[in-house]
Amino acid sequence: MAEEQAFSSPTVELIEACVAAAVAAHPLVGSGDKMAVDAVAVDAMRASFNAFDFGGIVVIGEGAKDEAPMLFNGEVLGRGETRDWDIAVDPIDGTRLAAEGVPGAVAVVAASEFGSMMNCPDVYFMHKLVAGPAARGVLDLDLSVAENLHRLAKSLCKPISELTVAVIYKKMNYELIEQVQAAGARWHRFDEGDVAMAVAAATPGSGIDLMIGIGGNPEGVLAAVAVQVLGGFMQGRLAPRNDAEVDSALARGYSPEQKLELDDLVRPGRNVFVLAGVTSGVLADEVNVDSDGVARVEVFVLDSTISGHQKVLRVA
C-alpha cells in the first residue's frame, strides 16, 4: 500500500472525496434501493469537496443543473479562489450493483488541468476501445473485432484464445459479443461499471486485456483520465441516440462520425484518477467494517506525477 504523504493536492482531496462516498454508500449495500445508494454517496462526496481549499469545476457530473441539485455539470467545487481543475465524478458507478450487493460498484473521481477534459455531456453513449500500453499504434476502432484481437494477441505474444475481452452486456453490444467469441477470445461479462472495466483493460496484469463496446460517454471521459496516466490506448466515437443528441454534439464541436483519440478525451498533463471500492471488484476490494464500526476502504490511485498505480488502504 502507498503512503499517503506521497500524494499532493489535488490527489489527497480526491482520495478523501472517494472514501467519503464509499463509506456513506456502504450501509445501503444490498438494500435494493439504488436511488438511496446514489443519493448518500452524492451528498458525502459533495460535502467533502466543498471543505477543500482548491478550486475546480464539474465537467462530468450527475447531469444538468435542473436534473441534479448537487455535483451537476458546471458546478464549482472547493473553496479556492481560482478554478484550476476540471473535475469528473461518479459517486457510485454501478448503483444497481451496490443496491444488490454484488461485485463491481465503485466511487470514482478524477481531476485534470482546467480546460483539458472533453465536455459533451448531453450525449450519453460512446463506442469505446481500451487496452494497455502494448496496444498503442496497434489497435484501431475502425478495424474489425477479429483484426483488433489478432493484432493485440500478437502484440502481447499470446494466442487469441488467452485474451480476455470485457464487453458490457447490453442489447446494443450483442453483435460485438458474438464477434469476440467467434474470434476465439474469452468474453468477460459485466452488466454495469464500465469505468472500472475500462481502467482494468488499460492496466497490465489486471486480467482484462481489452474493453470494447458501447457504454457511457461520461464514463468514457472519466476512464480516459486513468488511461492517460497509465500510458494505455483508448479510442472512442460518440453514439447519439437521437437528433437532439446529434445537434448537441455538433454544437460542442464534435461530429458523431469523428474518431476520438485519447488526447481528444483528456489532454496530457497533470491528471489524477481515484477509485474506491464499494463492493469487491477488479481494481479495489469492498468496504470492510470491523466490529468496532471502523471502515477500511481500498483505493486505487493514479497520479501523473507518480509512476504506476498505487493502492491505499484508508480508515474512516
DSSP code of residue 36: H
Is the pLDDT at 68 greater than 90, yes or no? no
**Per-residue pLDDT at 8:** 85
Residues forming a β-bridge with 273: 110, 302
Question: Domain 125-265 class?
Answer: alpha beta
3-state secondary structure of 114: coil
Rounded to two decimals, what is the model's pTM? 0.94
Q: What CATH number has the domain spanning 4-115+270-315?
A: 3.30.540.10
CB under 8 Å to 49, separation ≥6 — which residues? 13, 17, 77, 78, 87
Show me where the domains of the chain are located: 4-115+270-315, 125-265
Is the pLDDT at 29 greater than 60, yes or no? yes
Q: Do domains 4-115+270-315 and 125-265 have the same CATH topology?
A: no
Per-residue confidence at 70, pLDDT binned at 50, 70, 90?
A: confident
Residue with cell 460542442: 252
**Per-residue pLDDT at 66:** 57
Residue 292: how many other CB atoms lie within 10 Å = 5
For a pLDDT cut of 70, what percent of the chain falls above it?
Answer: 97
Check if the beta carbon of residue 37 is closer than 8 Å to that of residue 95: yes
Residue 308: how many other CB atoms lie within 10 Å = 12
Check if the beta carbon of residue 56 is closer than 8 Å to that of residue 81: no
Region 46-57 average pLDDT:
91
SS3 content of the chain, % helix, strand, coil (to 5): 35, 25, 40
The tens digit of pLDDT for each residue in 237-276 reads 999 999 999 999 999 999 999 999 999 999 999 999 999 9
Is the pLDDT at 2 greater than 50, yes or no? no
**Per-residue pLDDT at 4:** 47
Range in 56-65, 128-137, 178-187, 252-261 the model is least confident about = 56-65
